[in-house]
Amino acid sequence: MSKAAELLQEKFPEEVVEVTEFRGETTITVKPGRIVDICKTLRDTPETSFKYLSMVAGLDYLPQSPRFGVVYNLYSHRNHNRVTLKTLLADDNSPAIDSVVPVWSTANWHEREAYDMMGIRFKGHPDLRRILMPADWVGHPQRKDYPLRGK
Amino acid sequence: MMNQLPILIILTFVKIMLVLVVFLTCIAYTVLMERKVLGFIQLRLGPNRVGPWGLLQPLADAIKLLFKEEFTPPGVNKVLFVLAPIITAVPAFLPLAAIPFASQILPDTLTIYGYKVDLAAAGLNQGVIADINVGLLYVFAMGSLSVYGAVLGGWASNNKYSLLGGLRLSAQMISYEMTLGLSVIGVLMLSGSLSLVKIVEAQKSMWFIFYQPLGFLLFLTAAFAECARTPFDLIECENELVAGYQTEYSSMKYGVFMMGEYGHILVASALATTLFLGGWQGPVLPPIVWFMGKTFALVFFFIWVRGTFPRFRFDQLMKLGWKVMLPLCLVNILFTGVIIQFLQR
Amino acid sequence: MNSRETLQRTETMLLNLGPSHPSTHGVLRVLLELDGELILRADPDIGYLHRGIEKMCEYRTYHRCMPLMNRLDYLAGEVNLFGFCLAMEKLLGIEVPKRAQYVRVMLAELTRIASHLFWLGTHGHDLGAMTPLFYAFREREKIMDLCEMVSGARMFPLYFRIGGLAADLPEGFIQAAWDFVKTFPEKHKDYHALLTKNQIWIERTKGVGVMSPEEVLDWGWSGPMARGSGVNWDLRRDNPYSSYEEFDFVVPLGKNGDTYDRYLVRMEEMLQANRIVRQALEKLADTEPGDIKAKDPRVSLPKKDAVYNDIAGLINHFKIIQEGIVPPKGEVYQCIEAPKGEMGFYIVSDGTPQPFRLKIRGPSFINLSAMDKLARGRLLADAIALIGTMDIVLADVDR
């Protein structure tokens, strides 16, 4: 098991839902409630030192519930390894999670994109506007119930 | 003597027209030369479709500009918008009146239909339209007038890019006119006259560039800034301000701006030739060839620099103008004065 | 308000830089709040080139996603495809033959040179030097010719396949590539001669857009942008893929993290890429021609002989063509060192022939997000320099 998973299981035992390994990649599924603390811990603990956020992606598992998820891919320049954090959001109608912009500034645009495309609200985001779609666009194009073309 | 007056007026008019036509042709071919030389520098061919070696390209350009839609965007100050290109272009032509292009082009007297016309009386035999005794002042005065056209054009266009271009231009011109004026003081000290003909004649034995190398460098740099050429082309740099004060101009209004701009380059080159490179003087070849050759060598230098240098930033341009060039000008004047005093003793 | 206050009232100016502007490298729109020429706020407004590639991919088989990948960073089409194929191969758990790996490395590095050349030309042009553009395009043209040789296309070569390559290298390619590799270092000196020691160029780029190494990590910068600040990180070296560990190259690093250092880093990267191409060409000589596709029935079409004479072969062929490539359930993230930085593909597969979710991490998108931070308090001309040094491609930003 990777260092990151061990660390999280030690520090946030009730937050870690599942740790999976696939093709040499570690994915840690955590509860959304304390995501900022978890990210801060992963960033600041010297053994893990995930100081770099590669990407934030929104996910939509439509028929299932909970429907929405957010994925964080972290990279450590010290150990040259990656870890994927995954959370599933409880509320299907107005999904929301705490913003990780205080942890990594780069999350700003990633989260704006996830908000624009998936309609996931990031609480505490400094500037949560649409980024790719026009400001007056209705709907969130990358949701699974949004048609590919036309209406 | 009285009955000579109409003939003299007609002849003067013809002379002015001739000079103007030659000058306009030169402008057109300066544009072609720029495109050809830039093409050569940049591994391209340049215009080569219209006529042999693209020699008729200026004609095609002119026709194209004339037939383009004359578009006046809404919200502009119409009077100033139309006036601006003219204010830019006309003062660019006017300095030509005082710049001598040859020593003597006609004999002192001419017999036309039995009338003996005294050409020397009106200076018609000289290779200059008007040999005024404040020639250099006149040239500088006219040269700085054209700034107003660009500033007005930038303001009247009701476009933010144009406005920024106009603002940059006014600041740039104020800074560099100082240098331009002060850089030639050394020449004036050497020649002892403001008349351009006298200045050329004073260079009979030695061109002033050898006495005033620093002055020449400063003059040329300031001339680049005055003509808003790379690396000082901040007022119309497409990468920042789209086209600066010309952004909203189209068709022949744009063409007139362009004429003014290239006219400026030619006048600046001609002036530099006159002040520093001995004007029309030179062995073997006729004076006019020497004059044109030197002028176009400088025009080539203008183009060469454009093909080589990046562009200054605005604050760097101002710093260069006030903190480097102006002190250097003063130093140059001081040294020239000291040396002249020393030699006279 | 009395009259004196009216006279002293100052207003800031909102300037709409783009979406059609000579130096926004596509359709970038930056809303600038200016005080004179001083930038108070810069708000990049993107999305003018948003085509919804991520969404479109969810409705296509993996194979049919590939032409879309080319359209991400269209200055380095081959590299995007490279990343996508690697991600798919990771998801499928297949190994690509060495020959195919070397060819991929070679083309990726050639594309890196082409992309950096384009950057050099446009960056120079943004700052007023128009000549480097034409010199850079002279060599880029040769790389485009090489791309055309392998795939028939210049901008959007579709030469890589999931599991290998579409075909072996065409006749004459090796020779043409050698010609390029041998002449390039000489030509590279021209670029240095044009800009590197030019005082105006140095003044325009030194101290502009400075990022400290900590800020680089915080803002998620990668590739030459990070290395310009001295962050010693290159995915090719630190997380090698496609046999990069067999190649010998130096990762150039900057010191001050300004535009000039990033310029030097990219200039050196071109030479290093050229070295890698040279090594790849040498290594290719030792591999067996034709060995370009993984021997995996899920991705590789069977031999024609087997299709015509063998029922298993026929079914295999039919399944790949009709149904597409079916990876197992799972999710992978694979990133590569694209010319502009870390290009990542996050693929979520639900065991069907279409991706359930495909997230593309474009380097330009991330690099551009620091625009406001860098542009504040600078002059308008610096904003142009910043757009140039970020080396953004709007197709990659907007996806």
Residue C274's pLDDT is 92
| Strand intervals (E) in B91-236 | 102-104, 109-112, 115-118, 126-127
C302-360 pLDDT, tens digit per residue, is 778 878 888 888 888 888 888 888 888 888 898 898 898 888 999 998 888 888 888 99
Domain that holds residue C376: 52-398
Q: Is B230 on the interface with C (CB under 8 A)?
A: yes
Burial class (CB in 10 A: 0-12, 13-18, 19+), B5: exposed
Question: 3-state SS of A86-128?
Answer: EEECCCCCCCEEECCCCCCCCHHHHHHHHHHHHCCEEECCCCC
Q: Identify whether A150 is part of a domain.
A: no
Own/partner contacts of C242-250, CB < 8 Å, gap of 24 or more, are C242/C82, C242/C86, C242/C96, C242/C101, C242/C104, C242/C105, C242/C108, C243/C98, C243/C101, C243/C102, C243/C105, C244/C105, C246/C283, C247/C105, C247/C276, C247/C279, C247/C280, C248/C275, C248/C279, C249/C273, C249/C275, C249/C276
Residue A150's pLDDT is 61
Q: Is C56 on the interface with A (CB under 8 A)?
A: yes
User: B310–C204: do the CB atoms touch at under 8 Å?
Assistant: yes
Q: Identify whether A47 is part of a domain.
A: yes
Residue C361, domain CATH:
1.10.645.10
For residue C396, the SS3 value is helix
Half-sphere exposure of C240 (CA within 13 A, CB side): 11
Strand partners, C42: C32
Q: Identify whether A26 is part of a domain.
A: yes
Q: Identify whether C218 is part of a domain.
A: yes
| Strand intervals (E) in chain C | 13-17, 29-35, 38-45, 160-161, 164-165, 330-338, 341-349, 355-361
Q: Identify whether A135 is part of a domain.
A: no
Residue B122's pLDDT is 67
| A interface test, pick of C51, C55, C244, C368 with most A CB neighbours within 10 Å | C55
Residue A1's pLDDT is 59
Q: Is C89 on the interface with A (CB under 8 A)?
A: no
User: A54–C357: do the CB atoms touch at under 8 Å?
Assistant: no
Q: Identify whether A139 is part of a domain.
A: no
Q: Looking at beta carbons, which residues of chain A come within 8 Å of C220?
A: 52-54, 104-106
Domain count, chain A: 1
Q: Looking at beta carbons, which residues of chain B come within 8 Å of C129?
A: 308-311
Q: Is A151 on the interface with C (CB under 8 A)?
A: no
Residue A15, domain CATH:
3.30.460.80
Q: Which pair of tokens denotes residue B207? A: 């061109």
Residue type at B16 in one-letter notation: I
What is the phi/psi pair of residue C216, to 5°? -60, -45
Q: Identify whether A31 is part of a domain.
A: yes
Q: Is A141 on the interface with C (CB under 8 A)?
A: yes
Residue range A130-147: mean pLDDT, rounded: 86
Q: Identify whether A146 is part of a domain.
A: no
Residue C113's pLDDT is 92
Residue C4's pLDDT is 60
Domain that holds residue A36: 3-123
Q: Identify whether C39 is part of a domain.
A: no
Q: Identify whether C41 is part of a domain.
A: no
What is the pTM for the complete model shown? 0.87
Q: Is A55 on the interface with C (CB under 8 A)?
A: yes
Q: Identify whether C44 is part of a domain.
A: no
A58-85 pLDDT, tens digit per residue, is 888 888 878 888 999 988 888 888 888 8
B130-139, C78-87, C177-186, C193-202: which has the minimum mean pLDDT? Answer: B130-139
CA dist., res. C64 & res. C67, Å (int)? 7
Report which DSSP code applies to C258: S
Half-sphere exposure of C146 (CA within 13 A, CB side): 24
* Tens of each residue's pLDDT in chain B, 345 residues: 456 777 778 878 888 888 889 888 888 889 898 888 988 888 888 888 888 888 888 888 888 888 888 888 887 888 888 888 888 888 888 888 888 887 777 777 777 677 777 766 666 777 777 778 888 888 888 888 878 888 888 888 888 888 888 888 888 888 888 888 888 888 888 888 888 888 888 888 878 877 888 888 888 888 888 888 878 887 777 677 777 777 778 888 888 888 888 888 898 898 888 888 887 877 878 888 888 888 899 999 988 988 888 888 888 888 888 888 889 989 988 888 888 888 877
Residue C6's pLDDT is 61
C19 vs C339, more confident = C339
B285-298 pLDDT, tens digit per residue, is 888 888 888 889 99
Q: Which residue from A57, A109, A148 is facing C369, i.e. has the nearest CB? A: A109
The pLDDT confidence band at residue C265, using thresholds 50, 70 and 90, is very high
User: B43–C203: do the CB atoms touch at under 8 Å?
Assistant: no
Q: Identify whether C306 is part of a domain.
A: yes
Domain count, chain C: 1
Residue type at A55 in one-letter notation: M
Q: Looking at beta carbons, which residues of chain C come within 8 Å of A106?
A: 218-221, 366, 369
Angle among Cα C266, C269, C274 to the nearest 5 degrees reads 140
Residue C1 in this model has a pLDDT that exceeds 50 = no
Q: Which one, of C25, C128, C202, C386, lies nearest residue B236 by Cα?
A: C128
Q: Identify whether A44 is part of a domain.
A: yes
Burial class (CB in 10 A: 0-12, 13-18, 19+), B63: exposed
